[in-house]
């Protein structure tokens, strides 16, 4: 049944709209109008009940359109009833029953009841719902950019998937559209109430004119007949309209919940037994006043007290359940499984440093870590796994350590109530403090007290709070160990992400020419030297071309680096737009090439120890000279020896970039700061 309705729903809606137009134009028989009036009652009642059972407004997002169609349907019925009243003096059994049975045939009572319903609908419900919808639409639209930014931040931090982010964006858009539509749709109900009053007056005046002047009825009979018909028609229209306007108020005031309206009301209204007992006491006290009916007051007072007692017992049972003993301890097998589980990244702190990261102590460290993960994703193109924070009582109180897969890779000490002062080169005088070393970059620094902060800033020091010191060290550790952080599962996730937008690049390379493990090693080779892997499409395309010729991971890394030439060289351009370089003596390159040999299928350099030491010494001397002149040079050599030179210099000059001539785009301007020569016999 549901499938058939869904299949033909468009024809059904088109038929309903056409039927409404026909009702306005073509005269209908009283029997047909009785059916339409009953259908209007049922539709209005179902709409109101659906809104009461809806847990979130977006679950009934079609309501604004339904409100328009229902309002137009009621107006069409009103026009058809008006036509029958004026033409036949009879508008069907439903109108006749409401005119005689519901109001007892009393015109004054009917008019009073009708206008009360209209006033309640127009002044109370519709005005309130209109204001709530207007405010909700304004707040929803104002909050929309913030929600979108929050979704983007969670996506960039790796907290949600692309599908979840897309679903949330659609939900935010639907929410804005819904409340915007409700802001306008509530005007339909307001206009319907005004139209009902106008139609009643038209029916009264028109009925008197038709009865007295066209049908020859005396004035009293005309007033009695047409007034009852008009009031009956007004009531059969306005009672469903009241139900729909109530549904409008319910849907715009409904907050998101896991239960329907009745459940929420019963849980939230009756969860305060003391309030119910106080209400029972006040109601019982009213029964003691002279002149007030005692039986109804006592009945309701007793009912409130009984409900309060029952709810109090229920809450006590719930409290006992919450205070129940903890679940049984894990089995030995579960404990062993927990012990061998290794976190991708962890930050352990001594107990004095716990407030530094504790949100309950007012720390925003966790939010700043999320921003760091987002920044690393933007900078290097990898998603840093969640970082587990925990205290470690075996550490010194002011010590911390950073672990990758359970192994400590960095650490340091912080003073929770101190500040780290770094010399900026412009420091004019000494500031009293405890000498130390900045943990992220190994720079000399001082731990100073809060009272000395302003003096240190005035003296030219850069002053950093402990949380920023820890965050900086964590960020630099992630950069230095990005290659160790990237797992095979992370690599597969990157491949899956590229497959969504560029399936050809993935299918050509992975796994036909290169496995996920080999791709991981290539990416690790890039990350080890700080090369971003964001441009995965280019990386996969290069591997798709080069992996046909070689399986040597080192060579594949070199090919990819050459394809990312602009990205790599752009990282080291100076402020003047030039690339300041040191070049390698061709004799050294030749000696290095001649020393290459294979070990277990891998090409490694076998440079004579004296020559290697001389090369490192000469390079360090040149780098120091360039640094004294204010330059941070890049070592430039041929592509055939670049990776081997990097391997030689990685331990002593780890921060020294080594580029090949093939990694320089034609537009890059180079300034040679000198050649690295050695005195040993090459």
pLDDT (average), residues 611-620: 86
Q: What residue segments make up the domains of the chain, in order of their start?
A: 17-259, 270-313, 339-483, 486-563, 574-682
- Phi/psi at 251 (5° precision): -70, -35
For residue 446, give the H/E element and its range: strand 444-448
Give 470's Cβ-side CA count (13 Å radius): 29
pLDDT (average), residues 285-297: 76
* Domain 486-563 in CATH 1.10.8.540: yes
Q: If pLDDT is split at 50, 70 and 90, which confidence band does 402 have?
A: very high
pLDDT in tens, 118-171: 777 666 666 666 676 677 667 666 667 667 776 766 666 566 777 777 888 787
- For residue 78, give the nearest of 193, 199, 194, 197 by alpha carbon: 199
Class of domain 574-682: alpha beta
Separation CA 410–CA 339 (nearest Å): 22
Give yes or no for a contact between 212 and 222, defined as CB atoms under 8 angstroms apart.
Answer: yes
Give 299's Cβ-side CA count (13 Å radius): 4
- pLDDT of residue 494 exceeding 60, the answer is yes
pLDDT (average), residues 90-109: 69
pLDDT in tens, 643-664: 888 888 887 888 889 999 999 9
Q: In this predicted model, which residue has the larger pLDDT, 599 or 320?
A: 599
Separation CA 473–CA 438 (nearest Å): 9
Q: In this predicted model, which residue has the larger pLDDT, 203 or 512?
A: 512
Detail the DSSP E strand segments found in 320-398: 345-349, 387-391
- pLDDT of residue 479 exceeding 60, the answer is yes
Separation CA 49–CA 455 (nearest Å): 70
Predicted local confidence at residue 348, as pLDDT: 92
Separation CA 277–CA 284 (nearest Å): 10
pLDDT (average), residues 357-364: 83
pTM value is 0.53
- pLDDT of residue 352 exceeding 60, the answer is yes
Q: If pLDDT is split at 50, 70 and 90, which confidence band does 101 have?
A: low
What angle do helix axes 63-88 and 9-25 make, rounded to 10 degrees?
30
CA angle 606, 611, 616 (to 5 degrees): 100
- Of the options 3.30.1600.10, 1.10.3720.10, 3.40.30.60, 3.40.50.300, the CATH number for the domain spanning 339-483: 3.40.30.60
Quick count: other Cβ atoms within 10 Å of Cβ 81?
28
- For residue 389, give the nearest of 467, 479, 465, 480 by alpha carbon: 467
Separation CA 589–CA 466 (nearest Å): 46
- pLDDT of residue 586 exceeding 80, the answer is yes
Quick count: other Cβ atoms within 10 Å of Cβ 575?
5
Q: What is the mean pLDDT of the chain?
A: 80
With H, G, I as helix, E, B as strand and everything else as coil, classify residue 155.
helix
With H, G, I as helix, E, B as strand and everything else as coil, classify residue 342.
coil
Separation CA 278–CA 267 (nearest Å): 18
- pLDDT of residue 354 exceeding 70, the answer is yes
Facing residues of 182 across strands?
A: none
Q: How far is CA 445 from CA 317, 410, 425, 431, 432, in A?
A: 60, 18, 12, 11, 11
Q: If pLDDT is split at 50, 70 and 90, which confidence band does 264 have?
A: low
Give yes or no for a contact between 236 and 278, defined as CB atoms under 8 angstroms apart.
Answer: no
Predicted local confidence at residue 318, as pLDDT: 62
Q: If pLDDT is split at 50, 70 and 90, which confidence band does 256 have?
A: very low
Predicted local confidence at residue 29, as pLDDT: 81
Q: Please give the structure tokens belonging to residue 31.
A: 């029997």
For residue 657, give the H/E element and its range: none
pLDDT (average), residues 521-535: 91
Predicted local confidence at residue 6, as pLDDT: 56
Separation CA 107–CA 99 (nearest Å): 8
Q: Please give the structure tokens belonging to residue 146.
A: 């913030």
């Amino acid at each position: 049944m549901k499938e058939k309705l869904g299949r033909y729903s468009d024809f059904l809606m088109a038929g309903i709209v056409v039927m409404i137009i026909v009702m306005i134009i073509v005269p209908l028989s009283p029997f047909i109008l009785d059916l339409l009036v009953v259908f209007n009652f049922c539709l209005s009642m179902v709409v109101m009940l659906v809104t009461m059972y809806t847990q979130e407004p977006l679950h009934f997002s079609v309501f604004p359109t339904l409100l328009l169609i229902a309002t137009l349907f009621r107006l069409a019925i009103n026009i058809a009833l008006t036509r029958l009243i004026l033409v036949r003096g009879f508008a069907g059994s439903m109108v006749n029953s409401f005119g005689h049975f519901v109001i007892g045939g009393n015109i004054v009572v009917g008019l009073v009841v009708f206008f009360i319903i209209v006033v309640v609908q127009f002044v109370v419900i519709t005005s309130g719902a209109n204001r709530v919808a207007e405010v909700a639409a304004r707040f929803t639209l104002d909050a929309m950019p913030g929600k979108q930014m929050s979704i983007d931040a969670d996506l960039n931090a790796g907290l949600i998937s692309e599908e979840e982010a897309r679903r949330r964006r659609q939900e935010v858009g639907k929410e804005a559209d819904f409340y915007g539509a409700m802001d306008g749709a509530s005007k339909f109900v307001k206009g319907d109430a005004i139209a009902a009053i106008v139609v009643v007056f038209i029916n009264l005046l028109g009925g008197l004119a038709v009865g007295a002047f066209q049908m020859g009825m005396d004035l009293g009979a005309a007033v009695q007949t047409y007034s009852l018909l008009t009031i009956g028609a007004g009531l059969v229209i306005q009672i469903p309209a009241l139900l729909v306007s109530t549904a409008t108020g319910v849907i715009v005031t409904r907050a998101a919940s896991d239960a329907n309206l009745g459940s929420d009301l019963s849980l939230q209204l009756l969860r305060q037994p003391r309030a119910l007992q106080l209400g029972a006491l006040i109601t019982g006290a009213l029964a003691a006043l002279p002149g007030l009916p005692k039986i109804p007051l006592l009945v309701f007072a007793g009912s409130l007290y009984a409900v309060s007692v029952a709810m109090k017992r229920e809450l006590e049972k719930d409290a006992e359940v919450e205070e129940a003993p903890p679940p049984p301890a894990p089995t030995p097998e579960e404990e062993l499984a927990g012990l061998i589980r290794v976190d991708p990244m962890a930050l352990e702190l001594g107990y004095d440093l716990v407030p530094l990261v504790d949100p309950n102590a007012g720390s925003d460290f966790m939010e700043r870590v999320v921003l760091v993960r987002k920044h690393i994703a933007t900078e290097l193109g990898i998603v840093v796994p969640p970082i587990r924070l925990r205290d470690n009582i075996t550490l010194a109180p002011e010590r911390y350590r950073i672990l990758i897969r359970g192994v400590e890779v960095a650490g340091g000490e912080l003073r929770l109530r101190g500040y780290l002062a770094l010399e900026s080169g412009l420091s004019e005088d000494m500031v009293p403090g405890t000498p130390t070393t900045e943990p992220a970059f190994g720079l000399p620094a001082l731990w100073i007290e809060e009272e000395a902060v302003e003096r240190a800033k005035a003296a030219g020091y850069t002053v950093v709070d402990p949380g920023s010191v820890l965050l900086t060290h964590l960020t630099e550790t992630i950069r230095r160990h990005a290659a160790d952080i990237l797992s095979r599962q992370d690599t597969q996730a990157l491949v899956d992400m590229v497959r969504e937008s560029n399936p050809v690049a993935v299918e050509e390379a992975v796994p036909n020419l290169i496995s996920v493990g080999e791709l991981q090693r290539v990416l690790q080779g890039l990350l080890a030297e700080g090369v971003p892997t964001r441009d995965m499409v280019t990386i996969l395309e290069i591997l798709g071309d080069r992996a046909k010729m070689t399986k040597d991971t080192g060579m594949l890394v070199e090919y990819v680096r050459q394809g990312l030439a602009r990205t790599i060289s752009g990282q080291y351009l100076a402020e003047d737009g030039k690339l300041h370089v040191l070049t390698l003596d061709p004799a050294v390159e030749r000696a290095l090439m001649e020393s290459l040999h294979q070990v277990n299928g891998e090409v490694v350099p076998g440079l004579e120890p004296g020559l290697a030491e001389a090369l490192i010494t000469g390079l360090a001397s040149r780098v120091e000279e360039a640094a004294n002149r204010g330059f941070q040079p890049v070592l430039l050599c041929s592509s055939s020896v670049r990776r081997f030179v990097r391997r030689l210099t990685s331990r002593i000059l780890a921060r020294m970039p080594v580029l090949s001539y093939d990694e320089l785009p034609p537009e890059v301007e180079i300034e040679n700061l000198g050649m690295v020569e050695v005195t040993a016999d090459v």
